[in-house]
Amino acid sequence: MSEPCGIADMVVLGVRLSDAGLGDYWDDVDYIVRNHLVGEQVTSLEQLREAVRTLDADDSHDDLRERFVGGFINSKCTMSYVGNTLPGCCSVNGAQGIYYAWHGITRYSRGVATVNMFLNRASAWMDIDSHLPYEGKVVMKNKQAHTVLVRIPSWVEKDSLQCFVNDHEVKGVMVGSRMMIQGLGRGDVIRVQFPVVESIDEYTVGDVKYRFAFRGSTVVDVEPREDHPHAISLFNRGHLTGNRAPMRRVERFAADKLVPLGAY
């Protein structure tokens, strides 16, 4: 069993240890969020119907099921599928894990923005648009910062890294795992580019050897893929192997006040 309570707790632990200066665990948080955490969240009514079909085959209960979309599911798990129980504890902890990760994507203090993970977020000081895992491209739209510290994931080949400010190539200063870019103004657009590394990892779980295909830190496929008539397939992500990120226009919300971590 891969329980969302435990998965979310690992996200919280990674963020808090990193914030406390006891290590750099942002890669761990990124891997967990991109893969198991979002993989075990039910994001549509169709997913929920399929997952609970063996428990309740009556679709007339959809008005009730819709209230649980966004929850987290476990039980009857392997490395390639998950289903068919949606516990209250996992749904609450899963949501907390998402908030910790979202909060940690970028931080701001006294004119300096930090970007810890290449995940999407709109904020009052800087917006982050990640094209991963399709393209090795991250676009940061500055609103308030004069300096940004961009943490480069461990799988990125540093020699291939390029940085642009308003489409002009600049040489960022590497400070450990972070690239520092100074002299920014409001409205400046920072773009970081790098090749997306493809890799294969193997793990033995329950006497079964699994092969995971990665693009960067995102699992895009797993073998073997066990079948189950009433479950949600994990890592069936052939749509993420293209080389161009799909774009859509949305209205984004940037919170002007954040709930402190650990306050709930």
pLDDT tens sequence across 12-68 = 999 999 999 999 999 999 999 999 999 989 999 888 887 766 555 566 778 888 888
For the chain, the residue count is 264
Which of 125-139, 191-205, 216-230 is the least confident region? Answer: 216-230
Comparison of pLDDT for 122 and 231, the residue scoring more: 122
Whole-number pLDDT of residue 135: 96
CATH architecture classification, 106-193: Sandwich (2.60)
Per cent of the chain over pLDDT 70 is 94
Whole-number pLDDT of residue 136: 97
Domain ranges in the chain?
A: 106-193
Average the pLDDT over 247-263 and give the result.
Answer: 88
Whole-number pLDDT of residue 173: 94
Which of 53-57, 103-107, 149-153, 155-159 is the least confident region? Answer: 53-57
Whole-number pLDDT of residue 54: 57
Rounded-to-integer distance, Cα 97 and Cα 93, Å: 6
**Single-letter amino acid code for the residue at 124:** A
Largest CA distance in the chain: 61
Using the structure block, give the residue that is written with the tokens 């830190």.
217
Under the banding of pLDDT at 50, 70 and 90, the label for residue 256 is confident
Most confident of 64-68, 83-87, 145-149: 145-149
Rounded-to-integer distance, Cα 74 and Cα 95, Å: 15
Rounded-to-integer distance, Cα 122 and Cα 108, Å: 13
Burial of 45 (C-beta count, 10 Å sphere; 0-12/13-18/19+): middle
